[in-house]
Each structure stands twice: as C-alpha cells, then as structure tokens.
C-alpha cells in the first residue's frame, strides 16, 4: 500500500498539462490548453486541459478527470499503477506501508531481472545494427522480410551472436549475476548464450518493461527448433502476455478493435503497413488472462488465423474464450498459404482492412459455414453441430446477447428456436 504522504507528494508534483502533453499535442488557449481528444476520433479540438483546476475535460465525448484519472484512462492502469507511473515520471521515491523484509527482497530480485533483460535487449539490438555478423545475417533477414529500420527500432528487434558465449561473457563482465541470467533463460547451464545465432523479438509488458524474448533460428537445419522462447520466470508468465500490446495499446483503444494474429512477424508487418491495433498470442493458445488484457482496451476482437485444421481449431477455442469474457468477437480464416505478414505486403493495408471487414464472421456464421453444409444429410452430425453451437452460446454471460445469438443461430441453421434454447439451458445447468 502506497503511503499517504507519498500520494500527496505525487499529487503535488504531477502537473496535468505536463502529463497530458506526454501523450497529446496541446496548445495554449488563454489560461488553458486545447487539443484533439485521445479517447475518440475528432477533427476539431475539444479536449480541454485546465492547469489551475488540475483537470482535463473533453467536450466531445465527456471524458474528464484529474491527472491520475487521465493516466488510468489513457494507459489502462489501476489507481496504484497510475500513481507509480507518475512517481517514476517525477522521480518521487515511493514509500509503502506494511512491507516485510521478504517483500523488499522479492521486489529487489524482480527489479534486477528487469534490469538484466533491458541490458540484453540493448545488447541484441545494438549488435543487429552495428556489428558485422548482426548486420550481415540478422539485418539481412529482416530486410528480406521487407522490414524498414523504423519498425525494427520500434520493436527493438535484435540478433544474438552465433559464437557460444559472446553475450554471456559481456553481461558477466558488466556485473550481472549468472544465476539471474540463467533464471531468465538468457544463459544456459553450460554458460552459453541460449539465443545464439537467432534474430531476437523482445516481449514487453504494457508499460514497456522487457519480460522475455523470442528467438528465431536462421539455420536451415531442420533439427534445430525454428523458435525458442524465454522460460517463465518471476517476471514472465506467457499466458498473461500478448506480443505487441505495448506498441498497440493506444491504437487498439482508439480504433476500439483489436486484431489477434499468430506470430511476431505478423504483428510487425501490419504495424509497418499502418495497421497498429494488432497483437499476437505468439505460439500459445489464447488464454482467459490474455482476453482480459484485450478487454482493458476494447470489447471488439477480430481473430485472424490460418484456415488449416489447426488454425480453425485454435480460432474456435479463442472464440469461445472471448465470448465467455463478454467480448464481441469475430474470426477471419486466412486464404490457404497466406499469413497477415505476407498478405498485407501483397495487397496493401487498405485492401487488407477491406477484406477483413467484409469476410470476418461471428460465432454463428463461422460454425455454420464450416460444418453445416457437410452435415445436411447426416442427422447425427447435424445434432452434434447443434450441441457445439449451444455449448458456445452458453458461454455468453449477458442474457440478452445470448438470446439474440440463439434466435439468429436457429434461423441460420433452419431449426426451431426452442431446440437451441433447451440445449443452451442444459449446458448452463450442468455447468452450475
């Protein structure tokens, strides 16, 4: 718990116009400031900041509050997280009450892990940009994939030398502890670099801290795993993280929609094309915690997965989890042999967005388009599809939305609405 006198010092130091101007271009108008609202799209400035009152107010959408409220709203943070954000912004030491020695020690270790990861990110990034092997191998790979320097720097992409212990030797010489480097998965038990010879994708928290890394081999040896990732640690839990959310969070909130893709390069290529409201689950099945993270920024999710059997299975699972969390979720299964990375480079961002808008499907249309035609002459298979549909609809928490889905599904499938109502209610009763 943050001590009251610390909160008072934060509130005394934090100037609303200074904090807002970190995120929004505002111009002085009399005693106040005016700019375009960051919370909704507008062409005429209606976002007002009053230094004398210590508040902001948008006369377009009605959003208003003090400096802490702005940080909470804009960065989607809790009250405590917003206070810590402002404390860091104004170099205020945070005092917390009732903290044990164990708490302090644990926080010290966590901070050390973040520091080591930040150093590793810098090392890999600089090696990519400036060293012979980094530019000849790593940079060449990203260039072949169509990436420009700006997006490489935005995502802090890097390269780990192929020699066995180049990074580890440098990090140890800089004073970092071997056991912590091993806990983070940067160094293995043989004191060799875990990511050697791989291009590096840093994974960030929503506040920009480096949680871990993904590494892609450039070797043609099929015995070598294509991707390896940091192990879970005291600071990294992959089921709670979405790749690219740090870079995408403002665009997701502004567009009121999030695209979910499968890989690092999908996210990066779409960003480069100007489509920034996109994140990736990065090789893991979509989890409830990841959906909750998306929900902090928007209630609208579009899943863009491969149209092969594995992609369909993953999309349906992600759809069910998202429905259960109350999201408005739709799915677009990509054409055979395409992924967002290559597709957006082929057709351009405008055509990409048009295709997604026209072809994304909700639960009902996705399931019926995939399975209904093949089951028309098979009563047993049709009954199974009805049960699967009922299972998915039963996950929707809002009764009104659930009822509308039932009605639409019954019409689409050509069955009596009462049949689906009974199936949904049966699943709900069984679950409760």
Q: What is the pLDDT of residues 338-369, one digit of tens each?
A: 889 999 999 999 999 999 999 999 888 888 87
**Whether pLDDT at 107 is above 80:** no
Handedness of CA 57, 63, 64, 68 (dihedral sign): negative
DSSP readout, 342-372? Answer: HHHHHH-HHHHHHHHHHH-B-HHHHHIIIII
The pLDDT tens digits of the residues spanning 53-72 come to: 889 999 999 999 999 999 99
Contact (CB, 8 A) for 65 and 47: no
pLDDT band with cut points at 50, 70 and 90 for residue 233: very high
Contact (CB, 8 A) for 392 and 323: yes
Measure Cα distances from 21 to 33, 91, 113, 254 in Å.
10, 18, 31, 17
The pLDDT tens digits of the residues spanning 379-423 come to: 888 888 889 889 999 999 989 999 999 999 999 888 899 999 999
CA distance 26 to 429: 54
Q: If DSSP codes are grouped into helix, strand and coil, which group holds residue 11? A: helix
* Predicted pLDDT of residue 216: 96
Measure Cα distances from 95 to 4, 69, 209 in Å.
9, 21, 21
- CATH level 3 topology of 4-89: DNA Primase; Chain A (3.90.580)
- Check if 240-361 and 367-431 are the same fold: no
Alpha helices for 395-416 (secondary structure H) = 399-413
DSSP H helix total and E strand total for the chain: 21, 13
The pLDDT tens digits of the residues spanning 134-187 come to: 999 999 999 999 999 999 999 999 999 999 899 999 999 999 999 999 999 999
Measure Cα distances from 289 to 18, 173, 242, 355 in Å.
33, 38, 10, 29
Tokens of 118: 């930040």
Percent of the chain with pLDDT over 90: 61
**Averaged pLDDT score across all residues of the chain:** 90
Q: What is the spatial order of strands in the sheet that 300-306 belongs to?
A: 278-280, 258-261, 300-306, 328-334
Residue partners of 3: CB distance under 8 A and separation at least 6? 95, 96, 97
pLDDT band with cut points at 50, 70 and 90 for residue 374: low
The pLDDT tens digits of the residues spanning 252-304 come to: 888 989 999 999 999 999 999 999 999 998 767 899 989 988 987 888 999 99
9-23, 98-112, 218-232: the lowest-pLDDT one: 98-112
Domain ranges of the chain: 4-89, 101-236, 240-361, 367-431
Nearest to 394 by CA among 365, 360, 428, 369: 428
* Predicted pLDDT of residue 376: 67
pLDDT band with cut points at 50, 70 and 90 for residue 127: very high
For the domain bounded by 367-431, which CATH number is listed?
Answer: 1.20.50
Tokens of 358: 């026209």
Nearest to 6 by CA among 71, 93, 85: 93
- CATH level 3 topology of 240-361: Dna Topoisomerase Vi A Subunit; Chain: A, domain 2 (3.40.1360)
The pLDDT tens digits of the residues spanning 301-312 come to: 999 998 888 888
pLDDT band with cut points at 50, 70 and 90 for residue 373: low
For the domain bounded by 101-236, which CATH number is listed?
Answer: 3.90.980.10
Residue partners of 174: CB distance under 8 A and separation at least 6? 119
Q: How many CA atoms lie within 13 A of 249 on its CB side?
A: 20
Q: Which value, in Å, is the radius of gyration of the alpha carbons in the chain?
A: 25
Say whether pTM exceeds 0.85: no
* Predicted pLDDT of residue 99: 64
Alpha helices for 205-339 (secondary structure H) = 245-255, 264-272, 288-295, 309-324
Contact (CB, 8 A) for 365 and 409: no
């Amino acid at each position: 718990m943050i001590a009251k006198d610390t909160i008072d010092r934060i509130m005394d130091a934090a100037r609303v116009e200074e904090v807002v101007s970190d995120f929004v271009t505002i111009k002085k108008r009399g005693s106040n400031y005016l700019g375009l609202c960051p919370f909704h799209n507008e062409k005429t400035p209606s976002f007002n900041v009053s230094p004398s009152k210590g508040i902001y107010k948008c006369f377009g959408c009605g959003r208003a509050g003090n400096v802490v409220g702005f940080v909470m709203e804009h960065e989607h943070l809790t009250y405590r997280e917003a206070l810590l954000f402002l404390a860091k912004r104004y170099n205020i030491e945070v005092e917390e009450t009732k903290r044990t020695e164990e708490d302090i020690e644990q926080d010290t270790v966590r901070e050390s892990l973040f520091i080591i990861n930040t150093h590793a990110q810098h090392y890999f990034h600089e090696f990519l940009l400036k060293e012979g092997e980094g530019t000849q191998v790593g940079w060449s790979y990203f260039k072949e994939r169509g990436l420009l320097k700006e997006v490489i720097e935005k995502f802090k992409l890097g390269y780990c030398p192929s020699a066995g212990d180049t990074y580890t030797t440098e990090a140890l010489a800089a004073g970092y502890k071997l056991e912590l480097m091993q806990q983070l998965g940067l160094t293995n038990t043989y004191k060799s670099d875990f990511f050697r010879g791989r291009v590096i994708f840093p994974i960030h928290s929503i506040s920009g801290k480096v949680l871990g890394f993904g590494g892609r081999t450039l070797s043609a040896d099929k015995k070598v795993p294509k991707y390896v990732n940091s192990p879970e640690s005291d600071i990294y839990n992959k089921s709670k993280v979405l790749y690219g959310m740090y870079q995408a969070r403002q665009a997701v909130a502004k567009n009121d929609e999030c695209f979910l893709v499968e890989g690092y390069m999908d996210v990066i290529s779409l960003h480069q094309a100007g489509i920034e409201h996109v994140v990736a689950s990065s090789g893991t099945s979509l989890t409830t915690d990841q959906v909750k993270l998306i929900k902090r920024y928007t209630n609208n999710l579009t899943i863009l997965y491969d149209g092969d059997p594995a992609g369909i299975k993953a999309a349906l699972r992600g759809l069910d989890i998202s429905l259960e969390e109350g999201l408005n979720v739709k799915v677009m299964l990509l054409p055979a042999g395409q992924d967002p990375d290559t597709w957006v480079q082929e057709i351009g961002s405008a055509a990409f967005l048009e295709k997604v808008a026209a072809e994304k499907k909700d639960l009902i249309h996705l399931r019926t388009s995939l399975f209904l035609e093949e089951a028309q002459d098979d009563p047993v298979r049709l009954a199974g599809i009805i049960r699967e549909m009922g299972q998915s609809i039963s996950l929707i928490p809002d009764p009104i939305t659930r009822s509308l889905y039932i009605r639409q599904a019954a019409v689409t499938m050509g069955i009596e609405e009462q049949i689906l109502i009974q199936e949904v209610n049966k699943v709900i009763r069984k679950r409760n």
